[in-house]
A and B are shown apart, each in its own frame.
Chain A
Amino acid sequence: MRPTRHVFTLALAAGLAGFASQASAQQTIKIGELNSYKAQPAFLDPYKKGMDLALEEVNAKGGVLGKKLELISRDDGANPGEAVRVAEELVTREGVVMIAGTFLSHIGLAVTNFAGQKKVFFLAAEPLTDKITWQNGNKYTYRLRATTYMQTAMLMPAATAAKKKRWALVYPNFEYGQSAAENFKTLMKKAQPDVEFVTEQAPPLGKIDAGAVAQAIDDAKPDAIFNVLFGGDLAKFVREGNTRGVFKNRTVVSLLSGEPEYLDPLKDEAPVGWTVTGYPWDKIKTPAHQAFVAAYQKKFNDYPRLGSVVGYVTIKSIAAGIAKAKSTDTEKLVEAFKDLKVDSPFGPFIYRASDHQATMGAYVGKIALENGKGTMADFKYVDGASMLPSDAEVRKLRPTETN
């Protein structure tokens, strides 16, 4: 059995050799980024492209503080434990000055906690759970994307205007879906005390039994439906619901369904009339956005998805933050991000000092069909700042030692 140990030693030696090759003189500013690339490719593939575009633009203008930005991306295996390891790897082996990224809420939370513990600057790009900036927030973590609370709140005007009493809820059974459903129920009860929630369907993420779920909702005879499903679950649900007439004469209010990532696969079956948050990329005519789309299409010969915007703005935020801090020191970055103003394709926004949440908003509108494809009509941009609770309120939500 002696050779056994040989192999072990060899493996170890190979490992050591690998580590030896790290860190030479720093010519660049290294940004660490981690995400569930393999688990959520539909969103994250465009996201990666968005980051690449922003990186190219920043570096073409000479980078930041006279150095080029270098992005080191890793897959986090769609697993919080793995994500923490990857984060440590980025910090300790690659020597990155900060980390960014993550998609699924619970992974974002684990990395947030890691950042707080290890005093590493973390910009959460996409995870939506409110906890990242509120209950579990910390000094070192900022978040870009409009939260579950904000997006739900954006849909509230449409939900209350419909004046429907009986609501059915359908959401994926994990943090994001659960907290969206909770937010919706709380906000609805406040706005419309006589509201009744007739059924709640919580299928497992990625494993919806769409026919049965659609039927169960129909059987509960709701007047309106609040949907939080996305991705493959949404496609299955929409097809079954359409065939079974579940959406007929019912108001549907739905999170994220207007994002091209989730809307485009539905093609001509896009559920017309749903009020959604999303990204009508071909209809936003602001100069900032048109410049972004042109650059994106030129570089990738493809149209941007919402992921592209998130990836792009993540890098832009980082560049702006470092420039403002005039340093890559973590504490200085934390300070610099307070009320940091960033220009995005959606217009300028800031990172709030009070809860570290960006005020970048989202588009709210109704799904319509044009040329056999789903798109958004009657949409408008809702500024995130208008949806967020006041500084005093969020201070109560955050742990005391975070600011």
Chain B
Amino acid sequence: MTFSAFFFQALNGLSTASGLFFIAVGLSLIFGVSRIINIAHGSLYMLGTYIAYSFATYIGGALGFWGGIVATALIVGVIGALIEIVLLRRVYRAPELFQLLATFALVLVINDATLWIWGPEDLLGPRAPGLRGSIEVLGRQLPSYDLFLIVIGPLVLLVLHFSLARTRFGRLVRAATQDREMVSALGVNQAVLFTSVFALGAALAGFGGALQVAREPANLATDLVAIGDAFVVVVVGGMGSITGAYLAAVIIAEVKAVCIGIGVVDFGFMTVNFSKLTLVAEFLVMAVVLIVRPYGLLGRPQAFVRSIAEPEDPIRAAMPALKALGAVVLVVLLCLPLLAQTSPYLLILGIDVLIAVIFATSLHFIMGPGGMHSFGHAAYFGLGAYGAALLVKWLAVPMGIALLAAPLVAFGGALLFGWFAVRLSGVYLAMLTLAFAQIVWALVFQWEALTGGSNGVIGVWPPPPFDKAWVYYLLTLVLAVVGVLLLRRFLFAPFGYAMRAGRDSVLRAEAIGIDVKRVHWLGFAIAGCVCGIAGGLFAFAKGSISPETIHVSRSIDGLVMVLLGGIQTLTGPIVGASVFATLQDTVMRQTEYWRALLGLIILLLVLAFPQGIVGAFSSLWRKSGVKS
């Protein structure tokens, strides 16, 4: 590519960067002050595009377009404030990350609400009045609107920067970002601060979405695309740093633009289509940045934040009553094939629920007792599944060996990624695990010759006698029980204690001779290994495996299961996985608006059980005076 082509692509990158910056900056502010990971941020962005579309088409003209963008920002800001007041304020005291569950439910609800209001079709807004044409740069046509975007991004950055530096509100925001406890000690009305920051963040997202109305159609899939981009930008830039967010946006947009600009290159021995790299470019950037600069480009190490939630109770071995109940449940599960004679689907659902149980329990192993919030647990599920499926496809190994290999492949992957991940903590660890998962996903997606690309591997069916649902179900049940009990056993053994010790206080643990990183690393790998079993079982249960298995939505499903059940309990993930998998199965049968229904049910559960389902029941149990 020539120099002028390169330079021109750099300009394209800058205009895209402004868009990324607007998605990310609000998320960063909100996280900085309230420590909430707002998954619904992408939904607010999407709403911005839809609302601005309505203004631009129904009012029309310059007023409808430019005035509409400003009005949209205000409206989305108000929506943000309402979300904070009505919903999030009620769950601030819940265990860490629980707010994530609430915002996840919002994603589902907002998406269906948007579908209901604006309909399914893509809505392409008008071009920007006054900026419809293009100007010539280096013999090429640069849309004037892109030029406008190139300018408006840094402009908003400057405005934000100075208002944070010069105003009382800005000082409070910065103080809260650095040390939340200090702000509440200063007697600041925390509720008002949180609400206004959430509103500001939402307004920025709405503004960003509205600006895109001249470039792309309003589309119902924007929410998830935007939130993915936003996470990456925020983490690369450094949580809470708005300048960092802009810098990160520029870097990512430029890397992508250059990849596209390079296009297909023939290296002689192989031909590489660099445009396909855009699939994973941002995650590669994120992984590299986090490995080299663990707190992002301009981020500072997070001050130790004491969770405002109640710390968890000591774990206790199962009482006889619990053991008895566990035995009863197990007997019922063993008898399920008999019940299933009249309704065979019971077994299919049973297999899915059990796989979800293994998945969630292994995630909980590192999330709860390990304190490592993995946002990329699907990677190990996928590695297990692909490990098994590829062995069958290429080497035609029997199912037994494939199922044995699944956890080993996942263990290897977790060992590799875990080594980097345990060097970080908190949200940075979460994002690095997410980046790794996306990299695995992209690798599987892209390496067509080996993995079958987007089609995945098909035709991985269990041989007789496992082709009968009830036999496969029993196999799954056995592996699930073994996996769950094994992890439980580990938690009660010295290793599990050491893992919790490292989570409770790294300093104290190191001061009694525990190598916290190593313990957490091994814990991470063990969780990945067990998760691999679930992946292997999944491949044979479905007869096929595709890149979706590794996609971020599965990782989020895992988080939802763990949080729904209660992160601070050992049985939480089992209940959470069972409830979520059953719920999804039931709700999805209502084809229309099932997402909103699922979202509303989760919202109800969130408000009713702010410690998760099991968490809530055990505190109820304790309060009623029965010590279990």
Interface residues of chain A, those whose CB is within 8 Å of chain B, are 1-9, 11-12, 14-16, 18-20, 22, 37-39, 41-42, 44-45, 73-75, 77-81, 84-86, 88-89, 92-93, 105-106, 109-110, 112-114, 117, 129, 131, 136, 173-175, 178, 199-204, 206-207, 209-213, 215-216, 218-220, 231-232, 235-236, 239-240, 243-245, 261, 264-267, 269
Which stretch of B189-197, B271-279, B498-506 is in the interface? Answer: B271-279
Chain A CB within 8 A of B167 CB: no
- Complex CA gap A220/B594 in Å reads 46
Contact of B345 among A14, A39, A92, A213 (CB under 8 A): A92
B454 interfacial by beta-carbon distance below 8 Å: yes
Interface SS majority for chain A: helix
Q: Which residues 170-190 in B have Cβ within 8 Å of A in the complex?
A: none
Query: A84 near B542 (CB under 8 angstroms)?
Result: yes
In the complex, whether B242 has a CB less than 8 A from a CB of chain A is no
| Chain B residues, Cβ within 8 Å of A265 | 121-124, 217
**Could you say which of B123, B279, B542, B628 contacts A80, with CB atoms under 8 Å apart?**
B542
- Choose one: A11, A136, A212, A269; the contact of B260 (CB below 8 Å): A212
The answer to whether B348 and A92 touch across the interface, beta carbons within 8 angstroms, is: yes
In whole angstroms, what is the CA distance A131 to B343 when docked?
33
Contact A173 B279 (CB under 8 A): yes
Query: Do B348 and A85 touch (CB < 8 A)?
Result: yes
Contact B570 A38 (CB under 8 A): no
Q: State whether the Cβ of B600 lies closer than 8 Å to any Cβ in chain A.
A: no
Residue in B215, B217, B279, B594 with the greatest tally of chain A CB atoms within 10 Å: B217
The answer to whether the Cβ of B60 comes within 8 Å of any Cβ in the partner chain is no
Residue in A closest to B572 when the chains form the complex, CB atoms:
A4
Contact A117 B124 (CB under 8 A): no
Residues of A within 8 A of B162 (CB): none
B205 in contact (CB, < 8 A): no
Whether A109 touches B458, Cβ cut-off 8 Å, given contacts A22-B343, A201-B260, is yes
A334 → B minimal CB distance (Å): 19
Contact B455 A19 (CB under 8 A): no
Minimum Cβ distance to chain A for residue B390 (Å): 16
Q: Does B416 contact A (CB under 8 A)?
A: no
Residue of A110, A204, A215 touching B9 (CB-CB under 8 A): A215
Partner of A219, one of B1, B120, B143, B217: B1
The listed residue (A7, A15, A81) touching B544 by CB distance below 8 A is A81
B361 at the interface (CB under 8 A from A): no
Which of A2, A16, A207, A216 meets B321, CB within 8 Å? A2
Report A-chain residues with C-beta under 8 Å of the C-beta of B121: 41-42, 45, 261, 264-265
Which residues on B sit within 8 Å (CB–CB) of A14?
582
Q: Determine if B548 and A81 form an interchain contact, defined as CB atoms under 8 angstroms apart.
A: yes
- Taken together as a complex, chains A and B put the C-alpha atoms of A117 and B5 apart, in Å, by 52
- Decide: B461 and A117 in contact? CB cutoff 8 A: yes
Collect the chain B residues with CB atoms within 8 Å of residue A12's CB. Answer: 329, 332, 578
Asked if B588 contacts A200 (CB within 8 A), the reply is no
B contact residues vs A (CB 8 Å cutoff): 1-2, 5, 8-9, 12-13, 15-16, 111, 115, 119-124, 127, 133-134, 140-143, 145-146, 215-217, 219-221, 225, 253, 256-257, 260-261, 263-264, 273, 275-276, 278-279, 316, 318-319, 321-322, 325-326, 328-329, 332, 339, 343-346, 348-349, 352, 445, 448, 453-456, 458-459, 461, 538, 542-546, 548-549, 553, 569-572, 574-575, 578-579, 582, 585-586, 588-589, 591-592, 594-595, 613-614, 617-618, 620-621, 628
Closest Cβ of chain B to A313, distance in Å, is 20
Set of chain B residues within 8 Å of A215, measured between Cβ atoms:
5, 8-9, 12, 140, 260-261
Given contacts A79-B548, A81-B544, contact A236 B215 (CB under 8 A): yes
* Cβ contacts under 8 Å, B332 to chain A: 9, 12
Q: How far apart sit A9 and B318, CA to CA, in the bound complex (Å)?
A: 17
Q: How far is the CB of A208 from chain B (nearest CB, A)?
A: 9
Closest Cβ of chain A: how far from B348's Cβ, in Å? 5
With contact pairs A7-B575, A200-B273, A209-B256 given, residues A38 and B582 touching in the complex (Cβ less than 8 Å): no
Give the distance in Å from the alpha carbon of A201 to the alpha carbon of B571 in the complex. Answer: 49
Q: Which of A16, A202, A240 has the most CB of B within 10 A?
A: A202
Chain A residues with CB under 8 Å of B316's CB are 1
Contact between A41 and B115 (Cβ–Cβ < 8 Å)? yes
Chain B residues whose CB sits within 8 angstroms of the CB of A231 once the complex forms: 122, 219
B278 touches A174 (CB 8 A): no
Q: Which residues of B contact A22 (CB under 8 A)?
A: 343
| Given the contacts A200-B264, A236-B216, A81 and B538 also touching, CB distance less than 8 Å | yes
A236–B217 touching, CB < 8 Å: yes
Q: Is the CB of B275 within 8 A of A232?
A: no
How far, in whole Å, are A201 and B261 apart by their CA atoms in the complex?
9
**Extra pairs beyond A41-B115, A84-B543, A174-B454 (20, CB < 8 Å):** A2-B621, A3-B617, A4-B569, A4-B574, A41-B121, A42-B121, A79-B546, A93-B344, A110-B542, A129-B455, A173-B454, A178-B453, A178-B454, A202-B273, A203-B278, A211-B146, A216-B275, A235-B216, A236-B216, A265-B217
Q: Which residue of B lies closest to A104 (CB)?
A: B454
Given A2-B628, A85-B348, A232-B221: A7 and B588 interface contact (C-beta under 8 Å): no
Given the known interface contacts A4-B569, A86-B588, the answer about A243 and B575 at a Cβ–Cβ threshold of 8 Å is: no
Docked-complex contact A106 and B455, CB < 8 angstroms: yes
Whether the pair A110, B595 counts as a contact (CB closer than 8 A) is no
List of 5 A-B pairs having minimum Cβ-Cβ separation, nearest first: A41-B120, A93-B345, A3-B617, A4-B571, A174-B454
A2 to B340, CA, bound (A): 27
In the bound complex, CA of A202 to CA of B272 (Å): 12
Q: Would you give the shortest CB distance from B605 to chain A, in whole angstroms?
A: 11
- 10 residue pairs bridging A and B, Cβ less than 8 Å apart: A22-B343, A42-B121, A105-B455, A199-B264, A201-B275, A213-B275, A215-B8, A232-B219, A235-B124, A244-B143
On whether A81 and B545 interact (CB within 8 A), knowing A75-B588, A131-B455, the answer reads yes
User: What CA separation (Å) do A267 and B122 show in the bound complex?
Assistant: 11
Contacting pair A212 B261 (CB below 8 A)? yes
List B contacts of A77 (CB < 8 A): 588
Structural contact, A18 and B586, CB atoms closer than 8 A: yes
Contact B257–A212 (Cβ < 8 Å): yes
Q: Is the CB of B329 within 8 A of A9?
A: yes
Q: Which of A105, A109, A218 contacts B140 (CB 8 A)?
A: A218
Residues A19 and B343 in contact in the complex (CB < 8 Å), given A7-B614, A81-B545? yes
The answer to whether A93 and B614 have CB atoms under 8 Å apart is no
Q: Are A73 and B591 in contact (CB under 8 A)?
A: yes
> What residue of chain B has the Cβ atom nearest to residue A5's Cβ?
B325
Shortest A400–chain B CB gap in Å is: 15
**When the two chains form their complex, are residues A202 and B591 in contact, meaning their CB atoms are under 8 A apart?**
no
A277 to chain B, nearest CB (A): 19
A44 to B146, CA, bound (A): 33
Tell me the bound Cα distance from A79 to B278 in angstroms.
22
From A131, A216, A231, name the one whose CB has the most chain B CB atoms within 10 angstroms: A216
B261 touches A110 (CB 8 A): no
Pairwise interchain contact B221-A206, C-beta atoms closer than 8 A: yes
Q: Given A11-B578, A175-B454, does the pair A75, B591 have CB atoms closer than 8 Å?
A: yes
Query: Do A173 and B322 form a contact, CB below 8 Å, given A109-B458, A117-B543?
Result: no
Structural contact, B620 and A3, CB atoms closer than 8 A? yes
**Given known A41-B115, A41-B120, contact A136–B263 (CB-CB < 8 A):** no
In the bound complex, how far is the Cα of B257 from the Cα of A231, in angstroms?
Answer: 22
Give Cα A73–Cα B592 distance, bound, in whole angstroms: 10
CB-based contact A199/B263 at 8 Å: yes
Query: B278 touching A209 by the CB < 8 A rule?
Result: yes
- Which residues in A have their C-beta under 8 angstroms from that of B326? 5
**What's the least CB distance linking A44 to chain B, in Å?**
8
CB within 8 Å for A213 and B260 given contacts A74-B591, A106-B454, A239-B215: yes
Q: In the complex the two chains form, is A4's CB within 8 Å of B614's CB?
A: yes
- Give A21's nearest chain B residue, CB to CB: B343
Please give the distance in Å from B6's CB to the nearest CB on chain A: 10
Are A209 and B257 in touch, CB under 8 angstroms?
yes
Kindly list chain A residues whose C-beta atoms are within 8 Å of the C-beta of B322.
Answer: 1-2, 4-5
Minimum C-beta distance from A247 to chain B (A): 12
In Å, the complex CA distance between A14 and B620 comes to 22
Q: Is the CB of A41 within 8 A of B220?
A: yes
